[in-house]
Structure 1
Amino acid sequence: MQRAGHSVNDVYGHSVYTEQEESTSLLGNRSQSRTSEGTSFGFSVFNLMNAIMGSGILGLSFAMASTGIIGFSFLLLIVALLAAYSIHLLLRMCLQTAVTSYEDLGLFAFGPSGKVLVACTILIQNIGAMSSYLFVIKSEMPAAIAGFLPGEHSGHWYLDGRLLLIITSICIVLPLALLPKIGFLGYTSSLSFFFMVYFAVVVVIKKWYIPCPLPPLNHTIAFQVSNISECKPKLFELSKQSAFALPTMAFSFLCHTSVLPIYCELKSPSKSKMQNVANLGIVLSFLIYLISALFGYLTFYDNVDSELLQGYSKYLPSDVLIISVRLFILLAVLLTVPLIHFPARKAFMMMFFSQYPFSCIRHIFVTVALNVIIVLLAIYVPDIRNVFGVVGSTTSTCLLFVYPGLFYVKISREDYLSPQKLGACGLLVLGICIGACSLTLITMNWAYNE
């Protein structure tokens, strides 16, 4: 460990700083040069929560049904605490290396191959996130349109979710993603946080609008409902569906690629201040997640859908609040998917075309290719839990647990028996175990269903 007042240059030309040298680090210099600028503490918390909360909130009630109320609450708390600790490691590495991006931490730790590995992981993570958003469009847009149409319209083309997804992707998502600058969507997509809060409030309210036992929709459902104790919540549950719970939680708490940019823009940045931002953002997100998952589960119990809004579409198809929630979620999706295109495309360009100058043709080709991939995934993936499960157990687990622990072990010059390095090793091992076990169980579940 370097003493205060000394720095070392690594093979990439970066200066390695100790935590005591924070005032002279890259972020410290920024804070000294513009003490009156930057983002306030409150807005930084808001920005981080906006980065955390997304389509994962729609799958948490199903995760609770698969693990039980106490089991889910315990696992969600563990994931939240580990997310806060991994952010702590990222901030320590940021101070020690003076780099301000996740990819550069990979470069600092393992050279160009480390940077490419992080970029590839971010690319796959973003493709999974965009696919989950487009899945919401496929599943919710027909119900949103039907809510405004009187009478019966089943079978019409404008209620075909796949066709609507293709039309929306070509007419709205692709043109916005092709723009060279899309800064205005950064402001409008921040509305998605308020939409998620509104979603949680409506889930709580509608708990008392849907009776239990659930009213039968057809003879099959009536037979199923009559043979289960559907109004008794389970405190602990373990089944083959439980394998999807932890990956869904990891997917829902992933914000680590946004932590360092938010840190850079924080007014008078310091590690302790940014850690407080992260802790508060994670705590508030945890509460919103827990409330929405709990009341969604207590509304449908074992009949909860893997995408929660689908249950409300069955039992409250014309409810004004449900229609408004559906519209808000669709709006959030339409504004967020083009925004996620940008880091995904940037990661792809960095891996394959970093040595070439900007090309408009290449820009268009890569954007169209990414759009085709995510549309095909959204169309042919039968269940949103599969997106949460695979992406959550692989890339989300790597970005949330594995890489922070691995990079800290490689970068930090602390003794291997120091508390921080032992904690990083534990995070690394735990992340590998969670990802490997979850992916194995999910694969076995698919094979069993086949």
Structure 2
Amino acid sequence: MAQQSITEEGTSLILPTKAPREPRSSMLSACFNFINSIIGSGIIGLPYALNQAGLPFGLLLLIIVGVITDYSIILLIKGGNLSGSNSYQSLVQNTFGFPGFLILSVLQFLYPFIAMISYNITTGDTLTKVFQRIPGVGPDHILAERHFVILLCTFLFTLPLSLYRNIEKLGRVSFLSMVLTLAILVIVIIRAATLGPHILPTEDAWAFAKWNAIQAVGVMSFAFICHHNSFLIYGSLKQPTLANWSRVTHISVGSALIISTAFAVAGYTTFTGYSQGDIFENYCRDDNLATFGRFCFGFSIITTFPLECFVTREVVSNVFYSRDLTKAEHAAITMLIVIVCTSISLAYDCLGVVLELNGALSATPLIFIFPSACYLKLSPGRWFQGGNLIPVMLMIIGLFFMITGLTMTGLYHLDCSHGEEMFYCADRNTSGTVPPG
């Protein structure tokens, strides 16, 4: 096993790594991959998160989740340097032994795997509405059938992209996904100006805070989690130093926070208390601009799918293999993951409860608990002193949100509704405006 020397502030740290992979990615390419990893399907639920928490308090929570994400990602890599680890799994194994490794592997596999299922379902629900705007494509057309659209996108896009062996090759695809995300943001802002004034705000639209704020944190955590990709993107850097990684993290999380905040505010101020979990369900079917936004979002999450597949494949490789995968093994494992994921997304079209459980059970430990626990065990000094105080607080907060989130998910189930037109669509035209009165 090769070794890689990483220098920070004059101290040489030797980290065991797998055989070097070429070509390496630049910091800019790494930022594109990281931002694309953060801004996935979760962004369309952020207006709904503000609806749950209240606009002012929701914005505060969104900023806090972003700051915690930034801090814990760097903490994760610092823990890797302290333990000589080059992956999230090896870090936990070196810190807590095989039991910790096994628990982390299950969580790290489940989160991106379920995310891929949600990407497929969103692709099917979103692109079918896009295709129905094509002349001659009605509700009974094959392009309006979600199962066909999911299979078509899988064979043409997600499977071929997922078969790449090196994550750095997705840099250009991730850049395209970022451009599409910015286009979606512009569309949401335009509709906030043209459609929003014609929809009367709900009674508590501008309340400072609401009781569902804890559930809102779960939605935000689901939107921001990217820790399962951290070591992969860190290892793809041409110069994987902690200084370079900190810059990549700050730029990526900061950019994602700005985009997410703008998207959440524009979406929520348009629909206020009517905001749904998928903001595109709030727009009317005959809204041409929203249809273009649906297309951009559908294509964007298609390009995000391979990043999550990289993680699931890496977890399988680390658990069952002690070497790099051969080309045949790589292809076989990738195809198995994609086939199982696609099969589940074809069988189920409502994953609201599953995604809430995924956020509370997987996202919260991966963001709050494991990075902090590993760093605390590896770093010198007492837990409640100096630099260890913040990780301790993150662990306590993570445990609180995990237990509370699981409890609330068990007590309050989300209803699923697909394709229902909102009341304000009855008297509107394709330009996106609703006549007053």
Query: TM-score, normalised on structure 2?
Result: 0.81
Which residue identity does 2:195 align to in structure 1? I
Which residue identity does 2:413 align to in structure 1? W
Instruction: Find the partner of 2:195 among 190, 198, 210.
Output: 210
Instruction: Find the partner of 2:277 among 301, 306, 311.
Output: 306
SS at match of 2:412: helix
Instruction: Find the partner of 1:26 among 7, 11, 14.
Output: 14
2:124/2:150 contact within 8 Å kept: yes
Instruction: Find the partner of 1:323 among 252, 268, 291.
Output: 291
CA distance in 2, matches of 1:40, 1:274: 11
Instruction: Find the partner of 1:405 among 372, 376, 379.
Output: 372
Instruction: Find the partner of 1:233 among 180, 205, 227.
Output: 205
Instruction: Find the partner of 1:94 among 58, 80, 99.
Output: 80
Query: TM-score, normalised on structure 1?
Result: 0.79
**Which portions of structure 1, spanning 4 or more consecutive aligned residues, are displaced by more than 6 angstroms?**
359-362
**Worse overlay, 362-371 or 127-136:** 362-371
CA distance in 2, matches of 1:182, 1:404: 23
> Considering only CA atoms, is the larger Rg found in Structure 1 or Structure 2?
1
**Cα–Cα, structure 1 residues 73 and 380, in superposed 2: closer, same or farther, change >3 Å?**
farther
Instruction: Find the partner of 1:437 among 386, 400, 404.
Output: 404
Which residue identity does 1:87 align to in structure 2? I
% of aligned pairs identical? 23
Unpaired runs of at least 5, structure 1: 1-13, 28-36, 215-227
Which residue identity does 1:307 align to in structure 2? D
- 2:54 aligns with 68
Instruction: Find the partner of 2:248 among 252, 277, 287.
Output: 277
CA distance in 1, matches of 2:74, 2:11: 18
- 2:103 aligns with 117
- 2:183 aligns with 198
SS at match of 1:189: helix
- 2:64 aligns with 78
**Cα–Cα, structure 1 residues 145 and 20, in superposed 2: closer, same or farther, change >3 Å?**
closer
**Equivalent residue pairs, number:** 408
CA distance in 2, matches of 1:338, 1:295: 29
Instruction: Find the partner of 2:266 among 280, 291, 295.
Output: 295
- 2:19 aligns with none
Cα distance, 1:403 vs. partner?
Answer: 0.4
Match status 1:333 vs 2:339: no
- 1:169 aligns with 154
Which residue identity does 1:192 align to in structure 2? S
Match status 1:422 vs 2:422: no
Deviations 1:172-231 (A, max 9, x none): 4345545666764443133212221221121111112225444xxxxxxxxxxxxx8538
- 1:158 aligns with 143
2:360/2:406 contact within 8 Å kept: yes
CA distance in 1, matches of 2:151, 2:55: 38
CA distance in 2, matches of 1:385, 1:286: 24
1:147/1:318 contact within 8 Å kept: no
Q: What is the CA RMSD across the aligned residues, in angstroms?
A: 3.5
Cα distance, 1:143 vs. partner?
Answer: 1.0
CA distance in 1, matches of 2:324, 2:82: 32
1:140/1:310 contact within 8 Å kept: no
1:83/1:253 contact within 8 Å kept: yes
Which residue identity does 1:374 align to in structure 2? C
